[in-house]
Amino acid sequence: MTDLKSLTFPELEKFVLSEGLKKYRAVQIARWLYKKLVTDFDQMTDISKEDREKLKKKAKIYNLKILKKEKSSDGTVKYLFELEDGNRIESVFIPEEGWNTICISTQVGCPVGCAFCLTAKDGFTRNLTTSEIVDQYISVQRDIGAEKRISNIVFMGMGEPLLNFENLKKSIEIFTDDRMLGLSTRKITVSTCGIIPGIRKMAKELPKIKLALSLHATDDNTRNKLIPLNERYPIKEIMKELKNYPANNVRRIMIEYLIMEGINDSVEDAKRLIKLVKGIPVKINIIPFNEYPGSPFKRPPREKIEVFQKTLWDAGIATFIRDSRGQDISAACGMLRAKEKDKAV
């Protein structure tokens, strides 16, 4: 069975032609799937019953199952989805003043194994398919209603996006095709822990998409402990790659810096960070650690975070403190999934 939500528009056209349908059926199908957000073929009322029956025999419309959702007092909604094989993933809807964002997962679990990440504790199961990535957006948009249009996507959920590059790329093509979801490339950000081959592929194949680097440390010894993959892709090599990346002052690279007490929150860390990003058009997001039960890491005092920020601002680097949304729900990545798993045990 052909999974329609895994097809780019040219692939969708090719599919309908291969099934003996008129080429314009691809436009109709795309409109129903991505504009009307329908869940089955019988809802496609401008397609003949005969053609709908043909589609049912050869194709499927993939729909995620919302297993649980939690809504924060700040409007953030955390979704736990169940996949066809029983695996579970998370997505987060984040309302902002003037726009709405969705945080999307690209893998079941994560193979990177970051020491601070709750998702990593469950290990890695598999990559998500294109339709499983795309339907996170569709399912959440359908659930919140058309009046709350999701305009921004951040690939910062479960998994390392650049280790699932082909499905990431196809999902972005679907998100940005005007015949499908029609989002702006300027509104999509892909976060990576520093997969150098993937960064090179992004530069070549997805140059209009914003890049974010999850750095979290300014020296290799510390980063090796936090992000084991740093031993393969050390900080110096990652920064060298960023200097060659096609960014500019309008579309800067985002540096994500998860700040943890006694680990990476000193003024000396801030000064090393200034040296690391010299010559690279960046903005830095300082993210206070979102504590979860059993975590050995702690959030630094607010005053210390602000000193860190001021050190960077004084050096002329745009730096913002991004407090985690949804503090009164299972906000940390992987928390809702882990909580529901514990209930089942």
Same domain, 304 and 324: yes
Residue 251 clears pLDDT 90, i.e. is over it: no
Same domain, 41 and 97: no
CATH number, domain with residue 326: 3.20.20.70
Same domain, 111 and 179: yes
CATH number, domain with residue 45: 1.10.150.530
| Of residues 324 and 267, more confidently modeled | 267
Share of the chain above pLDDT 70, in %: 94
Q: Domain count of the chain?
A: 2
Q: What share of the chain is helix, strand, coil (3-state, %, to 5)?
A: 40, 20, 40
Same domain, 84 and 42: no
Which residues are identified as catalytic?
90, 333
Same domain, 81 and 56: no
Going by C-alpha positions, the residue among 122, 139, 111, 131 that lies closest to residue 88 is 122
Residues in the chain: 345
Same domain, 125 and 262: yes
For the ranges 144-153, 242-251, 329-338, which has the lowest average pLDDT? 329-338
Give the pLDDT band of residue 333 (cuts 50, 70, 90).
low
User: What is the residue range of 20's domain?
Assistant: 2-60
Tell me the two tokens of residue 231: 């031993």
Same domain, 150 and 214: yes
Residue 295, pLDDT score: 86
Tell me: is residue 159 an annotated ligand-binding position: yes
For the ranges 9-23, 50-64, 248-262, which has the lowest average pLDDT? 248-262
CB 264 within 8 A of CB 304: no
Tell me: is residue 117 an annotated ligand-binding position: yes
Give the pLDDT band of residue 329 (cuts 50, 70, 90).
low
Same domain, 98 and 179: yes
Residue 345, pLDDT score: 41
Tell me: is residue 193 an annotated ligand-binding position: no
